[in-house]
Structures are given as structure tokens and as C-alpha cells.
Amino acid sequence: MPGSIKVQPGPPNQPWLSPSIRLRSQKESDLRNIGTHVEPLNGHAYYTYVRVDNTGNEPFGRCRCPATGAWSKVPYFVDQNPPTNGPGGQRLVVQGGQATLQDSTGVAVANFSPSLVNDFWAWSPDGRLFAYVRRDYTTRDWSIEVVTTATYVRTDGRTVARGRTVHQAGPLVSTSPQATAGANFGWTPASTCLVVAHPPVPGQSANVKYIDLACPSVGMSTTSDQCRAFNAQILTSPQTTGVDILFSPCGGLAALVPTPTGYLQLVDLITTAADQPIRQDNRPVSVTVNAAGRTIATSATGRRGITLTNMSYPSIDNPECLLGGSVTVEARRVFASTTPGTSPMPINLSPGASSAAIWNGEYLWVELPPHTFTRAVPGTSPEHWCLLARADAAPVDAAPPWTQFSTTERHFAQRNIAIT
């Protein structure tokens, strides 16, 4: 089951002292412990913090990678006589100065203009994507195009049709005698990204290496078929002579591991194609590679689920258990009166989102943007704002819309805040 959410009730005889909703006059840096409750003053803006407890058996929001094991490198392309048959029954037919990608029934999916006999290509392991590399020995330039062999849906919700170009680069000039080779390209074992290790280019510093991770599941925008690419410029030095790229068992994370020493870097390949913060016990850490012979393995799906060797931390949190959707919290002011039965006056507060995974059996405070709490109806002091807090682990753990104010439904809890 996915992680479930519970907001703890306050003391029955002091409802305004809620342990689950707190107002603070400033941002809090430690979301594990934000301190004591602060009663708002009339006309002052306060940050709202809602404590979210994960009472389920899995981290938020349902770990997308249940597999464990060692992180591995990509299998690189074959640049001499690559196969013309794909894993899904597709074929690449080269004749008459044109290369045609066909599906399993022989229908043309895409066409390419070959560069004599120097081109090479490769299907993704699942057969859903096809990469075609064009190279010219005379000009020493190269280009690449990635097309879809089947319709699929990106994580941003956009449907990409079969035969669409989702990534292309070039022509790019190289100082390499062969312009580029199969060792510069590879699909992740889980088909989540294409790895492009750029060969040297004219004028490029020998101390910089360029690596692209083109991830078709991550969209550039909702109006473009192009996928998002992660571009890494890796500085080398006498201490850092290169970099290894390792991928998690399910392909949702990439690790840029410097050789022999330097700082470890994680990249999210599913939702953002961007750096993934490294954490231990929900706290940011910086991992240093101390020696050669370092390895990475996923040992568990929860907290401290990634095991490191020859690095400054023996284990770090497994962020792949959070890539399925962050935890979002909303709070509503409902009414301002101590009189039972008063008609509610719902007012939205802007939603906030957790900045780290909430592991099973643990909690995290989620920060909402500042809001000014004012006295709604003049009357005897103290008056109370009643808040409804909602927390979601979308998209797996979708909550119902704001059509009811049930304090028994597990996504909601009503609490009182005193206004003096």
C-alpha cells in the first residue's frame, strides 16, 4: 500500500494548541522540528506549517523502483555493422540513399538520410525509441536523432505519437579522427535515457568533459515533443581525471562518479532531468568520493536505501522512492467564531510541498507561503480560526476535491488557531 497521511489532533481542552498546524513569523530551516506554536497577532503575516505523518508501510509516494542491486554502466552502441532488427520486431531498411525505420508490420515509421556507410544506430532495450547517428569522416562532424517507435505518455502528461523526433543534436564538429564512435552513446538498461558522451571539439579545454542525458519521459513543455536533456560539464583536474556514469536498477537515477576523487552527483531521469539533492535521513549532505574502486548499490527502498563504498557516507536516502510524486499540503481557514454552528467562510491558503521524502513511520513539516491572519468578525477575545489541512501524495495517493469538509477523512483535520 502507499504511504498514508495523518494529522494528529490537539488537546481536547485546548484546541488552539494544535501539534499539527503551527504558525511561524519566519521560515524554518529544519523541517524535522520547527519549534513551538506561535499565536498570530492581528494583521501580521505568518508562515503556516502542517505536520504530515506517514502512517503507511512505504515512503511517499510509493517507491517506483522496488528492485535492489548494483548500479551499472550503459551498454554502448555498436558502430561497425550494427543490427538492423529491433527488439520489438522493427527493422531499419537502408537502400537507395535512404534509411527507413519500419514497425513490426512493415509500415514506415521514420526516414533518415544516410551519410554513406559511416552511420550507426541502436534501439532502446524496450524497443520504444530509436537513435540514429550520422557521421562524416571528411568534415569530422556528427549528428543524432531519436524517434519514437510507439506512442507513449511523458511524466508531464503529454502524449507523444509514434514516429516523432524527441531529441536531436548536431551537426557537431569533433577533433576525434572518427568524429564520434559507438563508445560515445548508450541507452540506459531501463530505457529511461540516452547517454551522449561528447567527443573533444575544437577549442575545448582538455579539463572539461561534456555529457548529455536525453530523457524521453521528461518533457520540455506541454506543447513540444522534445524531451529534456541533462547537460553536464565535468571539470577534470589532477585529482579528478574522468567520470563514471552509473544507473540505478530501475533507471530512474544516474550517478556521476568522479575518478578517482571528487563530489558525487545524482540526476533524476524520470521527472526533471536535473540534479537530485543527496540526503541522509531527510537532511542534505555532500558526498565525497575518496578513492578508486567505489561502487553504488540500492539495498532498500526506504531511508538510507543506497549503499556507497569508498565515499564519505556509507549510505544515503533513496530518492527514487520520492520521484513518483511529492507530498503537497493545503490549509483552509473555515470560520472565525467560537459559536458552534456558524456558517463556514472557506478561504484557500496557497499550497506547499515537502522538500524531502517522508519515510514510513516518520513525519515532516511542510511549509506554506506566508499569509496574513486577521480578525474576521469583531467580538470577544480570543477568537479562533479553524483550519482544515489536506496532504496528498499525488499522483498515486490522490485526494478528493474540495467539495466536503470531513474531519474524519484521512486527508483532512480541523484545528483551531487563536487570534488575540
Q: What is the pLDDT of residues 110-166, one digit of tens each?
A: 888 776 678 888 999 988 899 998 888 787 888 889 999 888 888 878 888 888 899
CB 273 within 8 A of CB 30: no
Hey, what's the cell of 175? Answer: 577533433
Grade residue 374 by pLDDT with cuts at 50, 70 and 90. Answer: low
- CATH fold of the domain at 5-62+324-419: Immunoglobulin-like (2.60.40)
The per-residue pLDDT of the chain, averaged, comes to 75
Grade residue 178 by pLDDT with cuts at 50, 70 and 90. Answer: low
Grid cell 524517434 is found at: 147
| CA 346/CA 365 separation, integer angstroms | 23
Half-sphere CA count of 74, side-chain side, radius 13 A: 29
State whether residue 200 is helix, strand or coil: coil
What lies within 8 Å, CB to CB, of 379 at 6+ separation is: 337, 338
**What is the percentage of the chain residues whose pLDDT exceeds 90?**
10
Residues 321-335: pLDDT tens digits? 766 556 677 665 544
Grade residue 364 by pLDDT with cuts at 50, 70 and 90. Answer: confident
> Residue 75: what pLDDT?
85
> Residue 335: what pLDDT?
41
> What is the pTM (predicted TM-score) of this model?
0.74
- Annotated domain spans of the chain: 5-62+324-419, 72-283
